[in-house]
Structure 1
Amino acid sequence: MNDAAAFHRLFRLLAGQCDGDSWSVVEIPAIDRLRQALIAPPHQVSNTDLAVLLRQALIFESMRRNWAPLAECDVLGDRWVGFQDWSTFGLKAISISGGWRVSPQPWQPDWVEVDGTNSIEARASGETVCRHFESASVPADPFLSKLNRKAYRSTAQRNAVRAALRAPIGSTLVIMLATGEGKSLISHAVAVAGYGSYPGQSSDDGVTLVVVPTVTLALDQEAGALDAGFKGPLAYRSGEQANNRQIIERIEAGSQSLCYASPEAVCGALREPLKAAARAGYLKAIVIDEAHLVDAWGTGFRTEFQLLGGLRRELIQLSPEYRQPRTLLLSATLTEASLTTLRTLFGTPGEFTEIAGASLRPEPEYWSSSATNETERVERVIEALYHAPRPAILYVTRVSDAENWFQRIYGLGFRRISLVTGKTSLVERDATLLKWRAGDIDLVIATSAFGLGIDYPHVRSIIHACIPESLDRFYQEVGRGGRDGRACMSLLIPAHDDWSVAKRISDVTVIGIDRGLQRWLAMFEQAEHIPNSRVFRVRLSTSPGFTDDDIDMVGERSADWNARTLTLMERAGLIRQCGIEHRMGNNEPWQKIEILDHDHLHYEVWQRRVGPLRQAIAEANSSSLYLMRQYILRQECITRLLIQLYGDDRVGAVCTSCSQCRAMPASRISLVGIARTFPWQHPLPPSDLVLALMDGSSRLIVFYDSFRRDSRWFRRLGEVFEVLGQNGVINLTLLANQDEFDKEVTERLSADPWFVAKVDRLLPGRLPPGPEVILSTERPPLTRANLSKRDINKARIFILPLDTESPDRPGIRLSQCFDGRMFFFDEFHQRLMR
């Protein structure tokens, strides 16, 4: 159903001329959301809810018509007879027999610089397409058939998945992928494809641990994974004993393909099961989602984020040499300070590198008002809620503010709303997520935790009734909108008092030198040395002393501050955390510490090492708040500020729409691209089995008879791919190839993470570095350079028709003049099968 037909059907539904149950237009959310609300039970939806959705649908249709003429509809029925508040919602209503004839009015609030815009929310209500996903030009690699995926969302997503699956043993890869590009596919791909076989196991065995910051995100990720075909339960969550017991048993057995858990659970109840899995070689990967929070949250509270580095080292050390887990750190964007923290905590052992595939989002249109008093801010937010397209999220900073706003909004007559804060129970979170996905909730009032990584695509409005403490937090929250690639609106409505709240949160409490050294001395005094090493065990619950200030510093409270102290010392290069132990019969945690600086007990060393680090942390937080202030005061384009925050070498950008750019179109920033190179430039060579088939030139041609490509030949070709994949060759180029090949051998290619390119001629850069198979079903367009001698890490195996001609000797078969190693297909298959 096209847009015009959908609106016509909605027009008839509003006029009572058709039902709303027998049709839907999920591809047009602006219309389908109103349809769903109109047929919902009356106690679940109010006229206030319906009026907002009606405005959105009329603006959508008006945008389709280029505002000439304005869309209008007849609203009939008993429920509308006494309704008189149309103008409150930016609607013009004329009384007609049995109801009203309604049309939209532009929304141009006098507290926003409208800059000649017809209606500030029109682009979002009109669902203007800004990005295209699921492009047929980015076909899926064969292993994604296990997830029923036929395409990648984008080239950036494909590059990220391939980089993750090529990660060397024990390495750490930072992956920056734009919000909406589908970071969750990376974890799914690792779980189904893995990193090759291991003696006694298949590539499907093993655990991919995904560390998520919130219960809400764990539940959302679990739902997405279940839809992709994974077997639940997948999310470890407090209070779910039966669920958690099953997950623990499956982790220890290596059959828990995916596990979503918080840092607290990973460092606590899941630590021993994960250690058992590591010893058995079952731990495939440690994935940390929203990795920017390791720095943003782990420094000031929720210390477990930064304890993950020590746990990772412990798990790697426990794993068999050839089954050490890879670490993947996922985020849409990372500041330089965040990347430095990640490098410190996860940089050893193993390689540490990054792949930047992120671009700043084109969907948000940015609007903001100047700061005002609280009373006027309330009026502005309410006006926005009467006009802003749905679904919408209203963000605030404090839990008490969220609770107050929920009561206020409910009192205005809105019913399709929900509240999510750190105090929201698990049951309430579950209910909200289900209704949010089903389209039964139009507005969520929330603190910053809601929405982290939640892949609900159709959010049209992000409203901030606060000043975020950093430009990074602001951009992360704005990024919850427009994940379907269609326009969304960001509306920031600050009050004067917000500045002090933002400043207080920005000033992260980092323990001082005097107090930090005092805590370290107390811990080290009771430390236990592990013989023949530089490693000590320190008791985390150690009290720092016996003064009046220390009398309450016992148990968990003291352990938390001690953990912060150790993390600060690690970031300063004094120690390295190697994992936590729990004593038999005593659940007290002991952290294993490797001493890196023998002068770690000296005050002047703390001054020299810890002092500058504390200053750098403070400056980074202050800088991000300063950038937030520049945006609010309209002193700089939001795109330029974000490039300054994240670095032009890590994010690409095209100018979106903010007050600076709307006022001065000539100042719009030009497209900024980033160099996209594959992070692992030195892959492992193929195994000895494959190398033994080649000569010193690292190339090999296998010729086959085109007339003998029967079912037996295809089966044996699949066997060739299977063996090659198990021996380090997973790049496949289909040269001048027909679709029949990947249909016949997909099952074999899916056994290992093969990367496939279909090309008309061989060009560099089409696949990740590494050995490759080049297969052709007809005479290929080869050049002499294509057949030249290769480096061992770039070995080539050609599988070509027997009648392939020499590229520089027309009329002469290549098999008669090639100067390298050659086999006929049957012999090649036979040698591999040995």
Structure 2
Amino acid sequence: MTNQDIICKVQDFFDAPDLTIDSAKLLSSNSTNSAVAIRMINAYKRFSLSQTIENKIEFECSLRNYLLFLKTDIKIKGYELSLPNRFGLMVHHSKGSIYANYDLPQYVNDFFVRTVFDSQPVQITTDENEIKDVNPYIYNLTNKKFRKFKSIEQQLAVMGSLRVPAGYTAMVAMSTGGGKSLITQTVSYQYDESLTVIIVPTISLMLDQHRNASKIINPKNDKEIMYYHSGCNVDNLVSAIEKRCVRMLFVSPEALIKNPRIQNSIFKANSGGYLKNLVIDEAHIIIEWGASFRVDFQCLDSFRRILAKDNPSLRTYLLSATFSKKTVDNLKMFYSDDDRWIEIRLDALRKEPRFDIIKCNSYTEKHNRIKELVCKLPRPMIIYVNSPDDADTLRSELAESGFNNTRVFTGRTGSADRERIINEWVNDKFDLMIATCAFGVGVDKKDVRTVIHSYVPSGPDQYYQECGRGGRDGLPCLGVMLYTDDDIKAAMSMTQKVLTVEKLSGRWFSMLNSRKANIQLDSILIDTSVKPNYNDSDKFYVDVNNADITWNVYVILLLRRAGLIQIIDVKYDKDRYFFNIELVDKRIRYDTPQTIDMFSKVREDESKSIYSDINELASKLRRIGKSCWSSMFNDIYLLTDEYCAGCNNHNNLHADKRKSFPLKKPVFFPELSPSEKLCDIMNGTKEMLIICEKNPYEITNKLFSSGADIIVVPDETEYASELLNIETIIPAQFCMGYREFFELSRMNSHYYLSGTIVFCIGDDEDLAGKVLNITSGKEYNRVYVVNSDFYVPRRNKHISELVNGACKYDYIIKKELT
């Protein structure tokens, strides 16, 4: 549906308003501007049914967004604008219509706001010739809906994931919106009669991924792709797993840790070899202990370790858009076994945000500006605040200004309310969310246009992740921060939230020496409900139901991060966690001066880490406008290229001018073994020349069907499309262009360039010389397909003289492969 179609349908509605009509059906389109129009019509219907000042304000705010996004005006019979109008709405008297001015305050970047309202997709330049077709496995799995990869980035991520050997963990970094879900879908169907468990952080993301997978794969029945969260029928799920009907199961970490029936059914599937893959989406929050303190998410490594002990061939995938060095180090420590670890790093900064950092002189000025920006900036909008009390205060202030259709999402928000609020948010029941850091990763509403920070977060990583709630549909968004000097001081005080050595020691030895602890020869079972051996009351730094249990869990996870203990297993019973741990350093078993010194070092390291993160952000705020705001993201996400769509330092795009290859780090191992069938026709050598005087497609198809791992083709050709319909399906095979091959060769990325590689050279003498020079002495098997035994000038020989192996015509190869 075009913008003009939307405008016509909306005007038709206002010419003859029907308050019973379903606006979603009226504007049946998934476009961003359709959603804008739907929210506006729904606001008008609420105002028509109850003409309160609050409903009028909500409608006029939605109307402003509609008129500026759609670049139009509108006639509404009998409607009188509120005066003075806070939303820049004006009456065009000669036309009798309402239009909107931007009417922005001077402290806001006018250019950025107009850019967001213009809704032009972020331009990502890609050479279409470099993007190759998917392989026959993906083509058929997706019911021929996916013919080409979205990008080389997606190809490397998906094909790299399919190449992961049994028993390995792969950490895959791939940008938001790059097509990461195809990884999960393809590895889930790579093996017959197999189960993949996909752990996702929120219900909304779970439902979204389930819906997308079902739509793309079109499963044979409703048991093939399933999900579970509290409220679902656990009997149906357990039965489907027992019957081996499930291929993909989307589940929350809490369900795995806290629901014994689901946990036991997964254990049973694992011991029977049915479970093949464990996928953890948004894996970076495993390490982000300070955000919403997702204990179950952080304890997944022990759950995985139990699975891997019983099923050593289990593959694990850790997926996210970006990983900081600290996150990588911790994930590798928790999830790698005997160096069976692969990093597929396609890290890239988000292209959508425009950053506008606004310093305020006082708390009052800041809040007055927030109330003004709520009227003027594009919606949907998230306002992040520092604490639940701050959220309640801001909600009350906005209500006094007439904004009643808001929601608050904090650490105090109960599970049932969280689910309801997220559903209402995703389904456009409201468009202004007030939240703490508890509302974040995995809440996948794609069309958020503005993210406002009314406080200074705990570091660039938290700030970047929260700004990342915006622009997930690939359209520009705003990242606005309003702060005072007091906000910086409040952020710096976070270092004081780390437990003192005395309290750290007190809680640890209280749990360890409690009568509730069960000490065995090689493990200790700890009950986290134990009270500490001191009288002070420790309030946790985010709102929780039981501060003692939460602090005790914090202590265990802190000592785990420090490498002093290992978590063997976690159980949840009667509202508390039971940790079965192993002491990696036996010295912490006893309360000695040496142990206190160790705890002092742990606390010091933790404080330094927190201080370093906060100081990075605080120092940037002190230099605002003097340097690019986004440069601090390159400092924490070390493999990303420079990219900033706009900030206080510059309005226009600043990006690395070099054309960077998506793979940021070489993947050296493990390497694939070549196909035995192809090894046989190569007579025990690593090279073979095939002369094909006619159409090369037939022999290429034959080699692909016989187990060739990679086909390398000229970038401008359509060779890959000829391979889509072959009958023999090998999931990890793929086709790449020569530019991609040369880059991977330059990086010595043996993980991708292994097995048997077929080079389609044709009669290109220069290409032949370059390929032979690069492939000489490599470990992978090489098959060169040429049109004739031509002369290679740069080597002063015919190509047959340069290939150290058999030279055969294509008709001979066809017979040998039959």
Select the residue among 126, 138, 156 that pairs with 1:159: 156
Correspondent of 1:757 among 720, 725, 736? 736
- 1:38 is the counterpart of 2:41: yes
Inter-CA distance 302–377: structure 2 relative to 1 (3 Å threshold): same
Gaps of 5+ in 1: 63-71, 194-202
User: 1:329 is matched with which residue?
Assistant: 318
The aligned residue for residue 657 of structure 1 is 646
Q: 1:570 maps to which residue?
A: 560
Matched, 1:536 2:533: no
Q: Which residue of 2 aligns with 1:186?
A: 183
Q: Structure 1 residues 169 and 610 mapped into 2: Cα distance closer, same or farther (>3 Å)? A: farther
The equivalent residue for 1:770 is 754
SS at match of 2:667: coil
8 Å CA contact 1:107, 1:119 repeated in 2: no
CA positional deviation for 1:482: 1.6
Superposed CA deviations along residues 470-518 of structure 1, whole A, max 9, x for unmatched, are 3322211111112233221122234676557645656554573522652
Q: Which residue of 2 aligns with 1:263?
A: 253
Q: Quick check: 2:616–2:632 contact (8 Å CA) kept in 1? A: no
Name the CA distance, whole Å, in 1 between partners of 2:577 and 2:25.
Answer: 61
Alpha-carbon distance in structure 2 between the residues aligned to 1:462 and 1:702: 58
Distance 1:279 1:235 in 2: 21
Sort the Cα spacing of 1:123 and 1:762 in 2 relative to 1 into closer, same or farther, 3 A.
Answer: closer
- Return the offset for 1:648: 6.3
Q: Equivalent of 2:88, from 84, 87, 90?
A: 90
Q: Does the 8 A contact of 1:522 with 1:542 survive in 2? A: no
Measured against aligned partners, the alpha-carbon deviations of 1:391-427 in whole angstroms (never above 9, x if no partner) come to 2222234344445545654665557655544555666
- Deviation (angstroms), 1:615: 1.6
Is the partner of 1:362 in helix, strand or coil?
coil
Q: Describe the shift of the 1:251–1:349 C-alpha distance in structure 2 as closer, same or farther (beyond 3 A).
A: farther
CA distance in 1, matches of 2:801, 2:614: 70
Q: Residue 278 of structure 2 aligns with which residue?
A: 286
Which residue of 820, 824, 834 maps to 2:805? 820
SS at match of 2:60: helix
The equivalent residue for 2:686 is: 698
2:346 matches 1:357: yes
Match of 1:490 among 450, 458, 479: 479
- Paired position in structure 2 for 1:144: 138
1:795 and 2:781 are equivalent in the alignment: yes
Shift of residue 315 of structure 1? 1.8
Whether the 8 Å contact between 2:563 and 2:584 is mirrored in structure 1 is: no
Distance 2:226 2:588 in 1: 45
| Aligned mates of 2:148, 2:216 — CA distance in 1 | 14
State how far apart, in whole Å, the 1-side matches of 2:291 and 2:86 are.
45
The answer to whether the 8 A contact 2:167-2:314 is kept is yes
Q: Counterparts of 2:532 and 2:102 in 1: how far apart (Å)?
A: 67
Q: What is the aligned partner in structure 2 of residue 312 from structure 1?
A: 304
Q: Residue 52 of structure 2 corresponds to which residue in structure 1?
A: none
1:376 deviates by 4.1
Query: Is the contact made by 1:721 and 1:748 (CA closer than 8 Å) also made in structure 2?
Result: no
Q: Distance in 1 between matches of 2:38 and 2:557?
A: 53
Task: Give the match for residue 615 of structure 1.
Answer: 604
Instruction: Give 2:382's aligned residue.
Output: 393
For the residues of structure 1 that align with 2:553 and 2:680, how far apart are their CA atoms?
Answer: 52
Q: Which moved more, 1:362-371 or 1:404-413?
A: 404-413
Q: How far, CA to CA, are the matches of 2:10 and 2:453 in structure 1?
A: 33
- Bigger mean CA offset, 765-774 vs 735-744: 735-744
Residues 14 and 76 of structure 1 are in contact (CA less than 8 Å); yes or no, is this contact kept in structure 2? no
CA-CA distance at 1:238 after TM superposition: 2.1
Equivalent of 1:127 in 116, 119, 123: 119
Tell me how far apart the structure 1 counterparts of residues 515 and 692 of structure 2 sit (CA, whole Å): 70
> Contact between 1:462 and 1:490, CA under 8 Å: does it hold in 2?
yes
Structure-2 separation of matches of 1:292 and 1:619: 20
Q: Corresponding residue for 1:67?
A: none
Q: Is contact 2:506–2:533 with CA below 8 Å preserved after alignment?
A: no
Matched-pair contact (CA < 8 Å) for 2:11–2:75: no
Distance 1:650 1:566, change over 3 A: same
> What does residue range 630-641 of structure 1 map to in structure 2 within 5 Å?
630-635=619-624, 639=628
Answer with 761-770 or 160-169: which moved more. 761-770
Matches within 5 A, 1:333-344: 333-344=322-333
Residues 581 and 12 (structure 1), Cα distance of their counterparts in 2 relative to 1, 3 Å cut: closer
Contact 1:21 1:39 (C-alpha < 8 Å) held by counterparts: no
Output the amino acid matched with 1:183: K
AA paired with 2:159?
A: R
Distance of aligned partners of 1:133 and 1:32 in 2 relative to their CA distance in 1, 3 Å threshold: farther
Letter of the aligned partner of 2:170 in structure 1? Answer: L
Alpha-carbon distance in structure 1 between the residues aligned to 2:722 and 2:291: 51
Q: Which amino acid aligns with 1:85?
A: L
Q: Does the Cα contact within 8 Å between 2:678 and 2:706 map onto a contact in 1?
A: no
Q: Distance in 1 between matches of 2:361 and 2:412?
A: 29
Using the size of structure 1 for normalisation, the TM-score is 0.78
Q: Say if 2:204 and 2:444, in contact at 8 Å, map to a contact too.
A: no
Distance 1:39 1:139, change over 3 A: farther
**1:65 matched residue in structure 2:** none
Displacement of 1:319 after TM fit?
A: 0.8
Cα deviation, 1:356-403, whole Å, max 9, x if unaligned, reads 322322322222332455554443222111111122222234344445
CA distance in 2, matches of 1:139, 1:371: 51
What residue identity is the alignment partner of 2:138? L
- Contact 1:540 / 1:562 at 8 angstroms: preserved in 2? no
Q: Corresponding residue for 1:106?
A: 103
Which residue does the alignment assign to 2:513?
522
Letter in 2 for 1:167: V
User: 1:761, CA displacement in angstroms?
Assistant: 11
Counterpart CA distance in 1 for 2:586 and 2:498 is 25
Partner of residue 464, structure 2: 475
Are residues 105 and 307 of structure 1, via their aligned partners in 2, closer, same or farther at CA, if it must alter by over 3 Å?
closer
Secondary structure of the structure 2 residue equivalent to 1:361? coil
Q: Report what 2:215 is aligned to.
A: 227
The secondary structure found in structure 2 opposite 1:286 is strand
Tell me the amino acid that sits aligned with residue 60 of structure 2: A
Paired letter, 2:302: G
Cα contact 1:470–1:625 (8 A) shared by 2: yes
Tell me if structure 2 keeps the 8 A contact 1:129–1:485: yes
Displacement of 1:608 in angstroms is 5.3
Whole-Å Cα distance in 2 between the matches of residues 629 and 762 of structure 1? 43
Q: Deviations over 1:185-221 (max 9, x none)?
A: 332232233xxxxxxxxx1432333333333433333
Say if 1:337 and 1:299 are closer, same or farther in 2 by CA, change over 3 A.
farther
Q: Which runs of 5+ in 2 are unaligned?
A: 49-54, 538-544
In structure 2, the partner of 1:199 is none
With over 3 angstroms needed to count, the CA separation of the structure-2 counterparts of 1:433 and 1:634, relative to structure 1, is: same
Q: 1:61 to 1:259 in 2, by over 3 A?
A: closer
- Residue range with higher mean Cα deviation, 253-262 or 403-412: 403-412
State the 1:42 CA deviation.
0.9
Q: Is 1:77 paired with 2:77? A: yes
Q: Is the 8 A contact 2:709 2:755 kept in 1?
A: yes
The equivalent residue for 2:196 is 208
The residue matched to 1:660 in structure 2 has which SS?
A: coil
Q: Quote the Cα distance in structure 2 between the aligned partners of 1:335 and 1:250.
A: 38
1:357 maps to amino acid: L
| Identity over aligned pairs, percent | 21
The amino acid that maps onto 1:272 is: N
CA-atom RMSD in angstroms: 4.7
The answer (yes or no) to whether the contact 1:737–1:776 under 8 Å persists in 2 is no
User: Is the deviation greater in 349-358 or in 380-389?
Assistant: 349-358
**Mean CA deviation greater in 623-632 or 733-742:** 733-742
Q: Does 1:171 align with 2:168?
A: yes
